[in-house]
Amino acid sequence: MKAIRFKVTGHVQGVGYRQTCRRVARSLDLVGWVRNLPDGSVEAFAQGGEAALDGLLEWAWHGPAPSRVTGVESDVVASDPTLTDFFVQPNPARLRGETGGSGRDR
């Protein structure tokens, strides 16, 4: 089983990128995860068949319609035998208890 980690840059947060990535990955029988990063990019880990991983990377360059992908960097990494599904990780800001939208300093 092959595993990859990739980072997608551009306008990829707030456009349904993670949810669509999960749907595409599951349709390709891949397991792993996808998450937003604080720098505005999206990072994902996926494992499964090589052709399926190639398909996910090809999709990553396009993303959902509202996104504007400017780059995709990927690396082959060690697989994780504990994964059984492809899931969306929570936003890092939510993990720290931050909320957005007020525009005020806290």
- Residues 27 and 39: their CA atoms lie apart, in Å, by 28
Active site residue 36: yes
Of the residues 22, 26, 36, 94, only one is catalytic, namely 36
Active site residue 91: no
- Residues 99 and 106: their CA atoms lie apart, in Å, by 10
- Residues 83 and 91: their CA atoms lie apart, in Å, by 20
- Beta strand 86-88 with 31-36 is parallel
Of the residues 5, 18, 91, 106, only one is catalytic, namely 18
Active site members: 18, 36
